[in-house]
Chain A
Amino acid sequence: MTAVTADAYEAVFDAAVAADERIEPRDWMPDAYRATLVRQMAQHAHSEIIGMQPEANWITRAPSLRRKAILMAKVQDEAGHGLYLYSAAETLGTSREELLDKLHAGRQRYSSIFNYPTLTWADVGAIGWLVDGAAITNQVPLCRCSYGPYARAMVRICKEESFHQRQGYELLLALSRGTSAQHEMAQDAVDRWWWPSLMMFGPPDDESSHSAQSMAWKIKRHSNDELRQRFVDICVPQAEALGLTLPDSDLRWNEERGHHDFGAIDWAEFQEVLKGNGPCNEQRISQRRQAHEEGAWVRDAAAAYATKHQAQHVKPGEATA
């Protein structure tokens, strides 16, 4: 084989990206592309597992058995999404353990939205409608991301997320059309979750440090502001159908732009949450660390058992169905 220079590898990579071909784990890729993907996929995986907490907070209090079953299934799906995404990230040469360690040490992030508390049952609906809705708006374009394993994980995840989103919407609809106390509960939840959901699309385009490179690599397909606008345009008629208002007095249709104009986002709040000063940052990460630390003896036991029984081809359990 002839020696090939790094430039030649890079040219092959650039051509593949330009031709909308998928980059696969064994393909050469720039170090920075690998690092960006690990960062983004880890953050995405972490968001799935931290995101279990605000919703799990209501499993034991769900007001009907049907809603309880739906919520349990949703939280279970989120753990599953976390598993897919850690597996996809592992194709880049990292490991789940390493990524979890970084999460626990505060060296990798998760979505800022999960640092807000779930204070009423209606919050479960608002998370489904708005938070999952924003996630889907962000994630559908990722199904065409240049990195194959990530794109394929997103195809599977988006199907389940869409289902969760419809269930959240339906939960809010039931509350909105229910008693006046239920209607108020729904409106209060939307009032509290609307702005944090808009922040999920990240900083404005002129302040987004990773955007230009990610778009050039076709990891991202649309800018933060484009996706945020798309989300607002989708939500306005949905809110009307729900019989609920969105907490923004500047929100109105702009005929000229063909989009809704909306008010200014409180970026100072966003920065505070990112810095760790949101309402639940401390609690979320503490619970995650606690679960991990208290589970250490269980993982150690499983490893010790596996080592002892490695030599045996038939596991003891299998003989005794």
Chain B
Amino acid sequence: MTTTVNAAALALGDDALVLSHRLGEWAGYAPVLEEEVALANIALDLLGQARVLLSLVGDEDELAYLREERAFRNLQLVEQPNGDFAHTIARQLYFSVYQRLLYGRLAAGESEFAGLAAKAVKEVAYHQDHAEQWTERLGDGTAESHERMQRACDALWRFTGEMFQPVEGLDIDSQALQSSWLESVTAVLERATLTVPDGPRSGGWAAGAGRQGLHTESFGRMLAEMQHLHRSHPGASW
């Protein structure tokens, strides 16, 4: 495996690993039983993707449990704390639309990721559908849910530019990806009676930061929790 392919597999694998972890935090706290099932289901799909991608690079557990914060290559978007249900849904919407477009392109290409992407894109289509339906229900539900959904979309908007920074090892037209993403997200937000946020999508610090191992503060605590047990028993198998 070449270094550039490793870099791309780490970036995509870390996205899936970290978002899966955040969704796992919902277990036992979802607003309705059906969402316990759905959020766990999405988390499991993402964890499965992470395991395949990280295994392309090396030992999945070494990579997940023994790297420090600065060595993780995930987007800052996926490490954002869950917040309320609207916040989680906005994060899912932004990321699943990106991931579906990206994996759709990778599945159609001839890179090392084509096979993996072909399988994952089916799962991601479900994730996108789930996020879109909830965006619409919350956006076009009650006054309170509308406000919460708008606030969540606004709050996470500044982390979306990072998705369209070129990733080493991924032969993707980032500009085209970005315009397709904007088009899809705009359509969903409009159907949901929400306003497309107008803040910057690629502020100086946020742009490309996660991909370079520059993360937000909550990420270190997330890793501390995730890695603690594994690190407490060096060399043990589980």
Between A and B, 5 residue pairs with Cβ closer than 8 Å are A60-B24, A68-B24, A76-B41, A179-B235, A287-B29
Task: Say yes or no: A49-B225 contact (C-beta < 8 A), given A63-B238, A182-B233, A300-B142.
Answer: no
Tell me which residues across on chain B come within 8 A of A179, comparing CB atoms. 233, 235-236
A interface footprint on B141-163 (CB within 8 Å = 1, 0 otherwise): 11011001000000000000000
| Docked-complex contact B27 and A298, CB < 8 angstroms | no
Number of contacting residues on B, CB 8 A?
56
Residue A320 lies at the interface, judged by CB distance under 8 Å to chain B:
yes
A interface footprint on B4-46 (CB within 8 Å = 1, 0 otherwise): 0000000000000100010011011111111111001101100
Tell me which residues across on chain B come within 8 A of A53, comparing CB atoms. 28
Q: How far is the CA of A305 from the CA of B40 in the complex (A)?
A: 24
- Pick the residue among A67, A291, A303 that contacts B28 (CB under 8 A): A291
B interface footprint on A67-102 (CB within 8 Å = 1, 0 otherwise): 111001101100110110010000000001000000
Task: Say yes or no: A65-B225 contact (C-beta < 8 A), given A79-B33, A178-B237.
Answer: no
| Docked-complex contact B29 and A291, CB < 8 angstroms | yes
| Docked-complex contact A79 and B229, CB < 8 angstroms | no
Please indicate which of the listed interface residues B225, B235, B236 has the most CB atoms of chain A within 10 Å of its own CB: B236
| Docked-complex contact A69 and B48, CB < 8 angstroms | yes
Residue B85 lies at the interface, judged by CB distance under 8 Å to chain A:
yes
- In the A-B complex, the 9 residue pairs with the smallest Cβ-Cβ separation, listed nearest first, are A295-B31, A301-B141, A301-B145, A76-B40, A79-B36, A56-B27, A298-B31, A305-B137, A56-B28
| Docked-complex contact A73 and B44, CB < 8 angstroms | yes
Tell me which residues across on chain B come within 8 A of A6, comparing CB atoms. none
User: In chain B, what residue has the closest Cβ to A54?
Assistant: B28
CB contact list, B167-208 vs A, under 8 A? 187-188, 191
Residue B64 lies at the interface, judged by CB distance under 8 Å to chain A:
yes
User: In chain B, what residue has the closest Cβ to A86?
Assistant: B33
| Docked-complex contact B133 and A298, CB < 8 angstroms | no
Tell me which residues across on chain A come within 8 A of B64, comparing CB atoms. 65
Instruction: List residues of chain B with CB under 8 Å of any chain A CB.
Output: 17, 21, 24-25, 27-37, 40-41, 43-44, 47-48, 50-51, 54, 60-61, 64-65, 84-85, 125, 129, 132-133, 136-138, 140-142, 144-145, 148, 187-188, 191, 225-226, 228-230, 233, 235-238
Q: How far is the CA of A170 from the CA of B37 in the complex (A)?
A: 25
Q: How far is the CA of A62 from the CA of B29 in the complex (A)?
A: 18
Tell me which residues across on chain B come within 8 A of A309, comparing CB atoms. 140
| Docked-complex contact B140 and A308, CB < 8 angstroms | yes
| Docked-complex contact A52 and B44, CB < 8 angstroms | no
Residue A299 lies at the interface, judged by CB distance under 8 Å to chain B:
yes
| Docked-complex contact A300 and B27, CB < 8 angstroms | no
| Docked-complex contact A79 and B233, CB < 8 angstroms | no
Task: Say yes or no: A61-B145 contact (C-beta < 8 A), given A72-B27, A298-B85.
Answer: no
Report the minimal beta-carbon distance from B152 to chain A, rounded to whole angstroms. Answer: 12
Task: Say yes or no: A297-B144 contact (C-beta < 8 A), given A53-B28, A82-B33.
Answer: yes
Question: Contacts A291-B29, A316-B191 given; 4 further ones with Cβ under 8 A?
Answer: A69-B51, A287-B29, A298-B145, A317-B136
Tell me which residues across on chain B come within 8 A of A68, comparing CB atoms. 24, 47
Report the minimal beta-carbon distance from A96 to chain B, rounded to whole angstroms. Answer: 8
- Pick the residue among A79, A121, A295, A315 that contacts B40 (CB under 8 A): A79
User: In chain B, what residue has the closest Cβ to A303?
Assistant: B141
Please indicate which of the listed interface residues A83, A292, A308, A316 has the most CB atoms of chain B within 10 Å of its own CB: A316
Report the minimal beta-carbon distance from A124 to chain B, rounded to whole angstroms. Answer: 11
User: In chain A, what residue has the closest Cβ to B184?
Assistant: A320
| Docked-complex contact A52 and B36, CB < 8 angstroms | yes
Tell me which residues across on chain A come within 8 A of B125, comparing CB atoms. 321
Residue A181 lies at the interface, judged by CB distance under 8 Å to chain B:
yes
Report the minimal beta-carbon distance from A245 to chain B, rounded to whole angstroms. Answer: 22
- Pick the residue among B27, B54, B129, B141 that contacts A59 (CB under 8 A): B27
